[in-house]
Amino acid sequence: MINKDNQSRKPKPPKPILYYYVIALLGVLLLNWIVLPYLMKPRVEEVGYSFFLDKIESNQIKTVQMEQNQILFISENGDGKQLYYKTGYVNDPELVSLLRAHGVEFGAVIPSQPNFFLNILLSYGIPILIIWWIGRRMSKSLGNKMGGGGLAFGGNTGKIYVPTGDKKTFNDVAGQEEAKEALTEVVDYLSHPERYTAIGAKCPKGVLLVGPPGTGKTLMAKAIAGEANVPFFSIAGSEFVEMFVGRGAARVRDLFEQAKKKAPCIVFIDEIDTIGKKRDGGLNTNDEREQTLNQLLTEMDGFEGDSGVIILAATNRPETLDPALLRPGRFDRQVPVELPDLKGRIAIFKVHAKNYKMATGIDFDLLGRATAGASGAEIANIVNEASLRAVRLGRSRVCQEDLEESIEVVIAGHQKKNAILSPEEKKVVSYHEIGHALVAAKQSNTAPIHKITIVPRTSGALGYTMQVEEDEKSLMTKTEAFNKMVTYCGGRAAEKIIFGEITTGASNDIEQVTKIARAMVTRFGMSDKFGMMALETNSNMYLGGDSTLTCSPKTSELVDREVKEMIESAYQRAVQILTDNKAKLHELAEFLFKEETITGAQFIEILNRESKYSA
């Protein structure tokens, strides 16, 4: 391991420009010696002597060249195209006078070769020019990409992010107050370093922004560039390994060289996990990436904390990063950029609403409450969808309805595709959705609904229940978790009770309910059988991903059984609630079937009025 490290710390030297030119030159020579002669040699057709004589008589020959044992001649056909022929030499004393009589130039060299200098120019000059030109173009585009013009393949690396027209500031980043606070300090340090050095404080060298996708990490970095009046170098991790193999490490070196010259400044590496993955001895090691990472580590050690270069990086997979990157002196400070809470979501809605023409009196509070769990990027998308909808409907301003509708489109957008609902299906969907809502309403601790629709949407969802959390909770009690499961079971239970038959419509519910039950058993210690025993670890917390079982296969079997039992009892409870309130179930579902939409207020009204059915 140590050996390997030492080796790869020495990056391969970049191949010199000369190298590319030698290859190009070889290419040109090859072209000249083999390909061009073949292409340029005129095609000579072999014909009989009498054909030759015919051509002379019909005045179709321009030039004739007589050689030792063959006669070459060029004939011109009707449309001026030159054709090359050759024929055998025949001792014909009349030939000369015949040629003279028809005014043919003869004995001359066939003028297929232009003059010597032109020839050289054509066959060497032009290809070299072309190659030179391509080389220049490439170096230019490389240069532009990396910032600054400059030399071809050895060029510059970090692009200086210049906040131009769309300059971002902290005001554009809504919600992330903690992150902003942590970063304000960085900005402040860069603008008044003397304050810090006066008491001997050292600014962190590296700050790592971690959080799920779409929470505004990149945006935050841009905002820092806008806030701090210092040069800002930005590069994405993937760019290090992108174009020429073997260049990654050299790029890192160039980047830091530039940065040190421009200090105080900020270097921002987006998606650092592309280069910063744990180095392991495993099968899929990637030399290129390892070299780049090693170079980065060396560079970070190579300058002092007070040199004024601060390195920012962003990732949504901090757990995959190499521990060496995270140790003190490198990225020792992590700033979490989490999914926004209620207040954050409302603020993000407001920030984005500023860019659109909005109707007055938009209820941002409601929008925030209806989008629990949405990221900043999703909210930005929702607002944009709403504006598109407003245009589609011929409005000049975005109104509340557009926003609510697009929340459904964006959030329910990932459900199954289906065609138009037949009346029977519509009925099933009505009962299914009301089943969820009624169960939710009857359990004191679950969130009331805001709206249910069964209009099949372009996104494909058949029905959609928009839940609104009363207030944000970070902790969930066991009862709440169980109630949530019961609510998810409500749809299927309603189908079973009313139609005696079940449909595929509950697939998403089943997934959700299983997820909750599993988490309760394996991670939250909420089952009586296992108690506080961790049976699963979550390896990928920000990408909502994989968890790995940490128990024996036998226990895992028991876990499955426990999960099954929990789901079963949640289902039974849902059935119980719906059977007890069958009259209301009918009444509400009928309303939904007829109107296709039911709002929270209508729902409560029907729920609380005197029933017209008897159970």
Task: By CB under 5 A, name the binding residues for Zn ion.
Answer: 491, 509
Task: Please identify which residue in 74, 187, 219, 517 interacts with ligand ADP, judged by CB under 6 A.
Answer: 219
The nearer residue to Zn ion, 340 or 491, going by C-beta atoms, is: 491
| Nearest residue (CB) to ligand ADP, 359 versus 377 | 377
Which SS3 state, helix, strand or coil, does residue 160 take? strand
The Cβ-side half-sphere exposure at 194, using a 13 Å CA radius, reads 0
Smallest distance from ligand ADP to CB 339, Å:
9
Q: Which of 14, 204, 214, 248 binds ligand ADP (CB under 6 A)?
A: 214
Q: Judge residue 83's burial from the number of C-beta atoms within 10 Å of its C-beta, 0-12 exposed, 13-18 middle, 19 or more buried.
A: middle
Residue 588 near ligand ADP by CB under 6 A: no
In sequence order, what are the residues at sequence separation of 6 or more whose Cβ sits closer than 8 angstroms to the Cβ of residue 370? 404, 407, 450, 466, 467, 468
* 174 forms part of the interface with ligand ADP (CB under 6 A): yes
Q: Tell me which of 239, 433, 495, 587 is the catalytic residue.
A: 433
Which among 420, 413, 495, 417 is positioned nearest to 455, based on CA atoms? 420
What's the distance, Cα to Cα, between the start and end of the chain in Å?
Answer: 74
CB of 160 to ligand ADP, least distance (A): 19
Q: CB-based burial of residue 360 (10 Å sphere; 0-12 exposed, 13-18 middle, 19+ buried)?
A: exposed
Q: Total residues contacting ligand ADP (rule CB under 6 A)?
A: 17
Q: Contact region for ligand ADP (CB under 6 A) — 208-216, 456-464, 467-475, 571-579?
A: 208-216
Kindly state the smallest distance separating residue 183's Cβ from ligand ADP, in Å: 13
- Of the pair 224, 513, the CB lying nearest ligand ADP is at 224
On whether the CB atoms of residues 84 and 74 are closer than 8 A, the answer is yes
By three-state DSSP, how is residue 459 classified? coil
- Give the residue, chosen from 16, 114, 213, 328, that forms a contact with ligand ADP under the rule CB under 6 A: 213
In angstroms, what is the minimal distance from the CB of 184 to ligand ADP? 15
In the complex with ligand ADP, the residue whose CB is nearer, 71 or 411, is 411
For the CA atoms of 229, 230, 235, 237, the dihedral, rounded to the nearest 10 degrees, stands at: -100
Considering the complex, state which of residue 110 and residue 541 has its C-beta at the smaller distance from Mg ion: 541
Work out what residue 483 binds among Zn ion, Mg ion, ligand ADP, none; the CB cut-off runs from 5 to 8 Å by kind.
none
From ligand ADP, Zn ion, Mg ion, none, interface partner of 491 (C-beta below 5 to 8 A by class):
Zn ion
CA atoms of 75 and 62, how far apart (whole Å): 6
State which of residues 87, 215, 234, 334 lies at the interface with ligand ADP (CB under 6 A).
Answer: 215
Residue with tokens 């404080």: 201
Residue (374 or 486) nearer to ligand ADP, CB: 374
- Spatial separation of the C-alpha atoms in residues 184 and 577, rounded to whole Å: 53
Interface characters, 16-45, with ligand ADP (x: CB under 6 A): ------------------------------
By CB under 6 A, residue 377 contacts ligand ADP:
yes
Residue selected from 8, 218, 315, 430 as contacting ligand ADP according to rule CB under 6 A:
218
Whether 510 and 495 have beta carbons less than 8 Å apart is answered as no
Rounded Cα distance, 544 and 86, in Å: 79
SS3 content of the chain, % helix, strand, coil (to 5): 55, 10, 35
Look up 433 and say whether it is catalytic: yes
User: Residue of minimal CB distance from Mg ion?
Assistant: 218
Structure tokens at 397: 């301003």
H-helix or E-strand spanning residue 179: helix 177-191
274 contributes a contact to Mg ion by CB under 5 A: no
Nearest to ligand ADP by Cβ — which residue? Answer: 376
Residue 173 engages ligand ADP in binding (rule: CB under 6 A): yes
From 146-154, 216-224, 403-411, 499-507, give the range in contact with Mg ion by CB under 5 A.
Answer: 216-224
Nearer to Zn ion, 322 or 509 (CB): 509
Of 506, 486, 490, residue with least CA distance to 569: 486
Smallest gap from Cβ 270 to Mg ion, in A, equals 6
Q: How many CB atoms lie within 10 A of CB 353?
A: 18
Q: Which stretch binds ligand ADP (CB under 6 A): 86-94, 213-221, 250-258, 261-269?
A: 213-221
Residue closer to Mg ion, measured from CB, 139 or 315: 315
- Residue with smaller CB distance to ligand ADP, 346 or 489: 346
Q: Hey, what amino acid is at 390?
A: A
Q: Residue 264: is the preceding peptide bond cis (ω within 30°)?
A: yes
Site for ligand ADP in 294-323 (CB under 6 A): 314
Question: Under DSSP, is residue 82 helix (H, G, I), strand (E, B) or coil?
Answer: strand
Torsion of CA 522, 528, 533, 534, to 10 degrees: 10
367 sits near ligand ADP (criterion: CB under 6 A): no
Q: Which amino acid is at 120?
A: I
CA angle 379, 380, 384 (to 5 degrees): 115
- Report how far Cα 450 is from the mean position of its chain's Cα atoms: 33
Quick check: 432 and 383 in contact, CB under 8 A?
no
Q: Which is nearer to ligand ADP, 225 or 485 (CB)?
A: 225
Cβ-based nearer residue to ligand ADP, 224 or 314: 314
Binding partner at 11 among Mg ion, ligand ADP, Zn ion, none, C-beta below 5 to 8 Å by kind:
none
DSSP-derived 3-state class of residue 12:
coil
Q: The tokens of 384 are what?
A: 């944009």
Query: Is there binding between residue 374 and ligand ADP (CB under 6 A)?
Result: no
Stretch that binds Mg ion, among 19-27, 117-125, 127-135, 213-221 (CB under 5 A): 213-221
Helices 423-442, 600-608: crossing angle, 10 deg rounding = 80
Q: How far apart are CA 607 and CA 598, in angstroms?
A: 12
Binds 441: which of Zn ion, ligand ADP, Mg ion, none (CB < 5-8 Å by kind): none
* Burial 549-576, CB ≥16 within 10 A → b, else e: eebeeeeeeebeebbeebbeebbebbbe
Contacting residues for 484 by C-beta, under 8 A, at least 6 apart: 446, 476, 516
Taking CB under 6 A as the criterion, the residue among 158, 175, 276, 491 binding ligand ADP is 175
Q: Which of 105, 99, 107 is nearest to 63 (CA)?
A: 105
351 binds ligand ADP per the rule CB under 6 A:
yes
Which residue in 215, 218, 291, 387 binds Mg ion (CB under 5 A)?
218
**Closest separation in Å from C-beta 266 to ligand ADP:** 16
- Strand 206-210 relative to strand 333-336, pairing: parallel
State the minimum distance, in angstroms, from the CB of residue 358 to ligand ADP.
16
Can you tell me which of 158, 206, 216, 505 binds ligand ADP, judged by CB under 6 A? 216
Residue 514: CB minimum distance to ligand ADP, A: 29
Which residues of this protein are in contact with ligand ADP, per CB under 6 A? 173-176, 213-219, 314, 348, 351, 376-377, 380
Q: Which of the residues are catalytic?
A: 433
Which residues of this protein are in contact with Mg ion, per CB under 5 A? 218
